[in-house]
Structure formats: structure tokens, C-alpha cells
A and B are shown apart, each in its own frame.
Chain A
Amino acid sequence: MIRFATFLAQGTPTPEAFAAYAAQVGTQDASTAQALLSGQRPKRIAAPQTLLDWVAEATHTPPFLVDACLKVAPDKAEVAALLLPLPTDGTRLTLTATLSDLTDRAAYLQLASALPLPARQILNRLASGTFRTKLTGQPESSQSPGTCLAILTLIDPSGPEATFALPHGNALVPLTRLKLTLPETPAILAWAKAHTTDRFGPLRQVTPAQVFELAYDGTTPNTRRKSGVDLVSPRLIAWHPSLTPDRATPLDAVK
């Protein structure tokens, strides 16, 4: 939840920023965030005024003080977020867990009290159905350049070329095939040789364990592809041997 707030605090969310966020939080939160940013709202549990009433009551803030606060900050959801004292210890709840817990007054007060301010303000917008942020460049083909973290699945040492895939649910979906141009290519080939799981002619299938950073200038829908999308000018940026495959960008975040 805190990471989602940090991501939104960077300004209008671009696909590039989303990919970086998705790489941090893993597939479950990434797909929850993806749904929120494409306009799906969680069920509203209370109007902003009701949230403010709950917080005022819980903090024993008399009505005249609430009124004085609203003169300074007219947004009721903001005042509701600011009235609660700051948490002494931060919560580690994911975005997905936060949303599934967010059901009633008691749950709201518990969640809000445990969150630092920026995340609490997002929570209030989600709880009151006033969350409006959308990812730029969505349902249409995207002109916005982006990056993603993809997993190496197939390698052709004669190219040398490699196929990269992104997670979609429990499956890995091939995204693009690129020439291996990185200075670490010999090391990558050596790793592939030691981790081949199957062969199809010159192609070797490898353990899906290595994460690579890809950049592209945009995306175009393509229904003939399993991924449903073509990358515009894809290129290989870096090998990230320290990253585990759960850091890969979910396919939905690239589309």
C-alpha cells in the first residue's frame, strides 16, 4: 500500500513508472494496481463526510475544530486523513490485502491509523470512491516509451538471439525476441548452456530464472500474438542477475 502511494506521488503515472512499480511489488499487487489505474474502482464503503465523521469521533475532535480544519483544507477526505495521529510503526500490508480488508468503519480506522500520510490519503480516496488516477496511454496503442523487466525463456546461441517472456497469471507469455547485444553475452550463453531444460533444433529452452530489462518506444495491439501486443522498437537494456523472476513486470502492465 505504501509502495502504491509512493508510485502515485511521482506524478501522472506513465507505463514506464508503472513497470518499475510492478517490478517492486510482484504480480498480485501489480495486477490490482493495474485494475485501479484502468478505472476499476473498489466498492465505496463511505462518503468523504462519513469518513470524516468516523475519524472525528475516534479522535474526540469537537465539531467546531473540524469546521476550523475544513476552512484550511476544504477536502473532507484530506482532513479525515490529517486528523488521525501519525503511526509510530508502519504497516506492511499490500495494496491487495488493504483493499480486501477495507469493509467497514472499524476496518477503515484500523487501516488508516497504521498508514503514513500519503498512503492514508490514497486509502481515503479508495474508501470513498473518489480515486480518479488513470495510467496514461491506456485500452489504445501507446506512443509512450516504456521499460519492463522480462524473463529469459529461449535462447539461440547461433544468433545469438533470445526470447523474453512476461508473467500473466501463473503462465509465462512470450513477449519479444531480441539479439543478444549486451557485453555480458558470453556469460549469458554459458549460463544458458548449464540451465537448458529442452532443445528444439538450434533453440534451447532454459530455466525461467534470469531477469532482463527491456525498453521500447510504444505498444501496438496484435491479436495474433499470445501476448496480444507488439512492442515498438524493443531493445535490450540490461541483465539483472540479482533480480528474481517474481520481480518481472506483469503482462497487463505493458499492454
Chain B
Amino acid sequence: MSHAALIIATPQGLYCPSGDFHIDPMGRVPRALVTHGHSDHAARGMGAYLCTHQALPVIRHRLGRINAEGVAYGERRQIGEVTVSFHPAGHVPGSAQIRIEHRGEVWVNSGDYKTAPDALCEPFEPVRCHTFLTECTFGLPIFHWQPEAEVLAQMAHWWQANAAKSCASVLLAYSFGKAQRLMAGLAGLGAICTHPVVEDVTAILRAQGYPLPPTTVLQGAPPKGALVIATPNAMATDWALGLGPHEVASASGWMALAARRKGTTAAFTLSDHADWLGLNAAIAATGASQVLTMHGYTQPFSQWLRAKGLQSSVIA
């Protein structure tokens, strides 16, 4: 017997008709289940929000006054005719995959995910399902990530070489997730300073109990040889004028591509998303017979999955 779709695409975002809620909607809706606090997933204007306890503080910080509730990982909630639960996605602190069950049929929306563990966020857990909605930000076979420890060692080396020249090392990273993953991974090697935008999020996560090293919010010149973690935008502001002698590097999965590295003096390939092998392994671990693709190289990735014998199409 075939089941009706538990998740469909609507103009506001992905929607679960049997539960009457949206997942990570961008258009205004009465009820939103949110996978994590990145702005392409958590938007303002929803009647009510549901996310993990761990994701909630950053979401509140970013969205202001909202009607929001937290759930524990694995906690089962009845919403309409379906049972929902949130499971670790390994992407950023608090990030979740959302599992939806309706009369024995199980669908999982991956949100953004990363299969390899890091020093900070709740590690990815595969969830068995019939249909898996997978992101595919790096869903092409040219994306292979080095182990995190190797990339962190390269960063530490770069930092030490700059410090030897009395230069500060400015590492550019997204303010929520990547920035904290870097400071956790490079803890204990020297003074770490932050741009105020990074510090705000860091303070929230530190208060939640995530293991983050002490950091100093930077006003003016950093101490000699310090590591400064900032957003790419920060470098275009007056804040950057006070940095003194410094070297800049970017940390992102996109740095795998020569075209993206152009114009940077140093670049580190470090992503909060699964690479090609990670995506394929995660999909296999769900046991899903149908895989719907979203966010990224949706067309070729879906065609690849069909070639492997799965039912697959692009959902968003």
C-alpha cells in the first residue's frame, strides 16, 4: 500500500499536510519546525516555532521576540496526525534532522548535516526511514573533506608562522557554528580574539555549556600573534582598520575550488556540511527507498541516486 506524501513543497517552504506544519519555512506560516539557527532555515514571522532546546537560544537571539518552544533530541511529539522528533544532524550546535511518522510510514528531513564529528556539536545520528529528504550543498564527487584534525593542524601551523612574524592571524568564518568550531578546535594554542558579532553568538553557546575556550572581544589592535575570528563582512568595516599587521584566511568547504581561493592568501577547506562520500553514506544508513534532494546540486545528485537504483527526485 502506498502512502500519501508526508512532506510536500509549497511557496512558503516544505509542508507536512498530515501535521499541518512547515519545516524551515521562509514565508510566513502559523507553525514552523526549525532544524537550526542559520538564516536560510530560521526566518522571522512565524506564528509558532519548535526546535531543539539546544538550538533555541541562538534562534531567539537572531529572531528577537518569538513564540518558541524547545524539545529534547529524541523526544516524541504528537502534532495533528503525525508523531515528530528531532535527531542530531552534526551541522552546528543544536542542529537537527526532523523525523515524521504517520501510521508506520517514516519520513526524515535532514536539514543541513555533517557526518564527521567535531569538537563542538552533537554528532550526526542516522535515522531509519522510508523517505529521506537530503540536502546536497556539496553533492558532487569533487568534494572530499580531509579529516578535521589535519585541517586544524594546518591552521595551527599558519597561526604560529604568523605569530613568529608578530602578525595577527584573522580567520574568516560564519558567525554561528564555524566560528565556534574553529575556536574549540584551536583552543590552548594562544590568545583568541573575536569580532563582536562572533562574540555574541559565542557567549550564548558558552552559557549553554558548549566547551568553548575563553575569547576576548576585539576593540582596536589584537595582542601580538593572536588569532582573530571574524565574519567575512567584518573585513569591509572600520573594525578591520584597527587590526595592525595581520594575515587573513578563509575557512569554508568552498575553498576546495581553485576559483574560490583566488584572491585569498591562505584558505582552509573546512565545511559544516557532509562531503560526497558523507552524503552517500548517510543516505545508505537511512535504508530509505526514496530520497528527495534539496539545497545544492539537486538535479545531478538526484540523477546519481536514480542511477544507483533509488527512487529520487528534486523536492526544493
Binding site for B on A (CB under 8 A): 11, 59, 61-62, 64-65, 68-69, 72-73, 75, 78-79, 82-83, 85-86, 116-117, 121
Contact = CB atoms under 8 A, between A and B. Distances in A.
B258 A79 contact: no
B259 A68 contact: no
A86 B300 CA distance: 22
A204 B311 CA distance: 83
Nearest to B146: A86
Nearest to B265: A11
A117 B154 CA distance: 14
Nearest to B267: A9
A117 B144 CA distance: 10
A82 B146 CA distance: 12
A69 B140 contact: yes
B254 to A, nearest CB: 10
A181 B257 CA distance: 49
Nearest to A56: B141
Contacts, number: 44
Nearest to A77: B258
A68 B140 contact: yes
B295 to A, nearest CB: 15
Interface of B: 140-144, 146, 256-259, 265, 277, 297, 299-300, 303-304, 307
A59 B144 CA distance: 13
Contact of B300 (A64, A82, A83): A64
Contacts of B297: 68, 72
Given A64-B300, A68-B297, A79 B142 contact: yes
Contacts of B146: 86, 116
B141 A72 contact: no
A73 B257 contact: yes
Contacts of A72: 140, 142, 257, 297
B156 to A, nearest CB: 16
A62 B304 contact: yes
A24 B271 CA distance: 32
A75 B258 contact: yes
A65 B303 CA distance: 9
Contact of B142 (A11, A69, A116, A121): A69
A78 B300 contact: no
Nearest to B256: A82
A68 B307 CA distance: 15
B259 A65 contact: no
Contacts of A61: 141
B137 to A, nearest CB: 12
Given A68-B297, A73-B258, A73-B259, A82 B142 contact: yes
A82 B257 CA distance: 9
B304 A65 contact: yes
A83 B141 contact: yes
A-B pairs, top 7 by smallest CB distance, nearest first, are A82-B142, A68-B300, A69-B142, A86-B144, A69-B140, A73-B257, A61-B141
Contact of A83 (B142, B304, B307): B142
A65 B141 CA distance: 8
Given A59-B141, A69-B142, A64 B303 contact: yes
A68 B138 CA distance: 12
Contacts of B144: 82, 85-86
B140 A65 contact: yes
Contacts of A62: 304, 307
Contacts of A78: 257-258
A35 B303 CA distance: 46
Contacts of A64: 300, 303
6 contacts: A62-B304, A72-B297, A82-B144, A82-B256, A116-B146, A117-B256
Nearest to B276: A85
A59 B140 CA distance: 13
Nearest to A62: B307
A65 B307 CA distance: 11
B277 to A, nearest CB: 7
Contacts of A75: 258
